[in-house]
Chains A and B, each alone.
Chain A
Amino acid sequence: MSQDNKQTQGPQTTGHAWDGDLQEYNNPIPNWWLYAFYISVASAVIYWFIYPAWPIGGSFTKGFNTITYVNDKGITKTTHWNTRALLMAETNEAVAAQKPYYTKVANTPFEQITKDPELNSFVVSAGKQIFSDNCAPCHQQGGAGKIGFAPNLTDDDWLYGGHFANIQQTITGGRHGYMPPFAEVLTDTQVSQLADYVLSLSKIAVNPASAQAGDVLFHSETAACYYCHGANAKGRQEIGSANLTDKIWLWANVPGADTIAGKEEAVKNVIRNGLNKGVMPEWKDRLSADQIKLLAVYVHELGGGK
């Protein structure tokens, strides 16, 4: 090729010589490369002026570029460019984009929302986000809960009611479930009898005589279980007492135990020690009313809503 023909003169050196004859060839880098390097240097300098760059003592150069956002107190702020403000600004945009939908959810009665495909779709996707951020730590990602810890929201069993308004109220004001301990009041036999009775209500094969005795005890003034759980043992949603006749367990891990003895033991534990842990915090200070309404619809849509 053409350039090869021109390589007639001898090699160039830098002109330095060491030890008499040790020389260094001069192989300059190509010019385009050099220019690209200069342009990079210039860009770096321009960058220093625009963005925060240099630390100076306890402070730093803030750059010319500014960013404006509305903080969570609703105050508009303009500051030097930084990623935190950028996040705020982008969050503002996202919130503004969702705003019309939230307003629509807020102004639409519950039943109407579930009939409107587009609004309902919004609830499903936005609700999922709020749920993951706030509720999932206890109720698990999909709302399946955990026995002994947090109720399953996807089944049809509700401690405080599964209508839209019940759910909304639960989220807004929180709940606190309580069952007194019976270890002091009842003998161990009595506790076993009660446990057998409760298991028999869920059609689990237990000693019928013991269950029979438990039935009597349940409705007696000694144990007085029927006060809270009702004479038919179906629970009372006003106070959040559990329905003992269905197959759903929240505090006693009955499905988790393989043997009858194990299931008995699980129920007996609850009877002996009572409960003081069914605590759901109130969310009215953490979430806006609109968010709570949306969340109520979402939870209702998880499958259990009445």
Chain B
Amino acid sequence: MNTGIEQPVKLYEKRIPVVTRSVKGRFRNLKSAILLLAYSVYFVLPWLPWSRHDAASQAVMFDMDGRRFFIFNLVVYPQNVFWLALLLFISAVILFFATSLIGRAFCGYFCFQTLWTDLFIWVEHLIQGERPARLRLLKQPWNAEKVIKIGSTHLIWLLVAFWTGMTFILYFGYAPDLLHRFFIGHAAYAAYVGVIGLTLTTYLAAGFMREQICAYVCPYGRFQSVMYDPETLAVAYDVRRGEGDRGRISPKGELKDRQTRLNQGHGDCIDCGFCVQVCPAGIDIRDGLQYRCISCGLCIDACNNIMDSMGYPRGLIRYDSEANLAASVPKAPYIDWKRWKLLGYVLAIVGMSAGLIYSINQRTDFEHSVQQIRQPLFVVLSSGEIRNRYQIRLTNKSDRDVQYRITAKDLPSGALDLGEMQNVTVHSGKSVIVQASVKLQPNQTKKYEHFEFVIQSLNNPTDRAVEAASFYSEKAE
């Protein structure tokens, strides 16, 4: 149907509220376990103490003023932004890997949107009751009961949202102190903006937008389809088994008996609608794989419960692959990891992780850069000697003052001149610039065109960096 022309399509439709039924089962338990773990990490981490010399004793802290991140014993400086890039790459590839293997597992179990929506629905359920009660409440006119129930739900949502935002900013300062300053009005402007912003977005996203975020806002939901293969496991309704030849039918009278149903050409689906009622995305999985499905597995639990109560075998809705479902003799669902694409992902993940670990292990406690001064590139002195100059920048990333010695490898003695700074003390967290000059006789310049600076911490013998440098000279005059 050519709706665009003949019939004006409404561009924006009011959201139809999704009121989900609660469900018990394996996947629900798994979800709850992950949720508990994720919340414990998120809400408790900023309060975890950690002993540190020169900064707040907090295990994980993003110190914006000091331009460094503390993650347990690791201190990350802006110069290490490469690690962040690598970490993001690794995470992305893990996501691709997981998606090809088991579909939108991230969406259904780990995504913040799912986690917070789950929590909000749980609050809703706690106060307003099970799905039928909530639907009734939704339809009934405003009265004291409705005001109290809806009001308290929103109040708790707001409190949760507020604490979510609050916790987020606690990562950016020493938590007990920051919390105190926040409430007496002495925290930074950004803290208030952050908390208000996150409170509102959490409240809106988990309270009102829910599945709309997944369907319309989330970019990952948009491009996941390119990662699906026929072998990918996804939540699927076994149409052949559920519908039979004559379709699903509710179990009345003799149709309760499975054998009778099969004989009459009906499938196992008793059309109870449970799978639809529990779905947080508000869809009917029996319509087939669809982009709104976040693979949360709740419909599997719902249907399994029904199958159990009917005495039919489980797994009418299950994690299975398109290929297997279509096979003439389907095997038990299995994870098909023997695919080139997946092996490629594994290779990338292993390679990049190794790179990241190596890079983190190779870090020195100081940051350095050696820059040749290029204006002018070289200077001819009155004696005819040629001089190059270098600017060495040292940043002490450790938590105590450190003395460094700068030397040059492969240069004739006396060629390197550091003024007063052969040994230079740098305070913790500070940077200094050391000007080095190298003087060579015109006939030496060819020989020492390449040499190395060695920067050595005098406090810690293993902390040492070698930096290659070049010597420029004019064509001999």
Contacts and interface: CB of A to CB of B under 8 A. Distances in A.
A266 to B, nearest CB: 15
Contacts of A17: none
B375 A247 contact: no
Contact of A30 (B7, B11, B382, B424): B11
A142 B382 contact: no
B9 interface: yes
A289 B437 CA distance: 29
Nearest to A255: B477
Interface string A148-160: 0000101111000
Interface in A215-263: 243, 246-248, 255
B375 A144 contact: yes
B289 interface: no
Contact of A120 (B3, B9, B432): B432
A248 B380 contact: yes
A2 interface: yes
A118 B375 contact: no
Contacts of B374: 142
B291 to A, nearest CB: 11
B375 A156 contact: no
Nearest to A122: B433
Contacts of A303: 379, 387, 389, 437
B431 A7 contact: no
Given A3-B13, A7-B9, A114-B419, A121 B387 contact: no
A83 interface: no
A33 B10 CA distance: 13
B381 interface: yes
Interface in B9-25: 9-13, 16
B16 to A, nearest CB: 7
A155 B379 contact: yes
Contacts of B477: 255
Given A156-B381, A303-B387, A114 B420 contact: yes
A11 interface: yes
A246 B433 CA distance: 31
Nearest to A302: B389
A3 B430 CA distance: 62
Contacts of A27: 8
Nearest to B376: A144
A11 B432 contact: no
Given A144-B376, A247-B384, A301 B10 contact: no
Contacts of A142: 373-376
A93 B230 CA distance: 62
B383 interface: yes
A119 to B, nearest CB: 9
Contacts of B431: 121
A222 B477 CA distance: 34
A78 to B, nearest CB: 22
A10 B387 CA distance: 87
A26 B8 contact: yes
A11 B1 CA distance: 14
Contacts of A30: 10-12
**Consensus secondary structure, chain A interface:** loop
A155 B6 CA distance: 83
Contact of B382 (A2, A11, A25, A247): A247
B433 A3 contact: no
B473 interface: no
Contacts of A285: none
A94 interface: no
Contacts of B375: 140-144
A156 B382 contact: yes
B136 to A, nearest CB: 22
A118 B432 contact: yes
B214 to A, nearest CB: 15
B421 interface: yes
Contacts, number: 89
Interface string B383-399: 11001010100000000
Interface in A1-52: 2-4, 7, 10-12, 25-27, 29-33
Interface in A93-124: 114-115, 117-118, 120-121, 124
Interface in B343-399: 373-376, 379-384, 387, 389, 391
Interface in B308-357: none
A11 B5 CA distance: 9
Given A7-B7, A142-B375, A247-B384, A2 B16 contact: yes
A129 interface: no
A247 B380 contact: yes
A25 B5 CA distance: 9
B379 A152 contact: yes
Contacts of A10: 7
A222 B419 CA distance: 46
A191 B112 CA distance: 88
Contacts of B383: 156, 246-247
Contacts of A156: 381-383
Nearest to B375: A142
A120 B118 CA distance: 58
B382 A117 contact: no
Nearest to B417: A303
B34 to A, nearest CB: 30
Contacts of A7: 3, 7, 9
B339 to A, nearest CB: 33
A10 B8 CA distance: 9
A125 interface: yes
A187 B51 CA distance: 85
A117 B11 contact: no
Contact of A32 (B12, B384, B426, B437): B12
A289 to B, nearest CB: 24
B287 to A, nearest CB: 10
Contact of A155 (B9, B380, B420): B380
A155 B11 contact: no
B15 to A, nearest CB: 11
Contacts of B10: 3, 30
B343 to A, nearest CB: 38
| Residue of B11, B383, B389, B434 ringed by the most chain A CB atoms within 10 A | B11
B11 A118 contact: no
Contacts of B16: 2
Given A117-B425, A157-B382, 7 more contacts: A29-B11, A120-B432, A143-B375, A144-B376, A154-B376, A155-B382, A156-B382
28 contacts: A3-B13, A4-B3, A7-B3, A25-B8, A26-B8, A30-B12, A31-B12, A32-B12, A114-B419, A117-B424, A118-B430, A124-B391, A124-B435, A142-B375, A143-B376, A144-B376, A152-B379, A154-B389, A155-B381, A157-B381, A246-B382, A247-B380, A247-B383, A248-B380, A248-B382, A255-B477, A303-B379, A303-B387
Interface of B: 3, 6-13, 16, 373-376, 379-384, 387, 389, 391, 419-421, 424-427, 430-435, 437, 477
Top-7 shortest CB links A-B: A142-B375, A246-B382, A30-B12, A144-B376, A30-B11, A117-B432, A121-B433
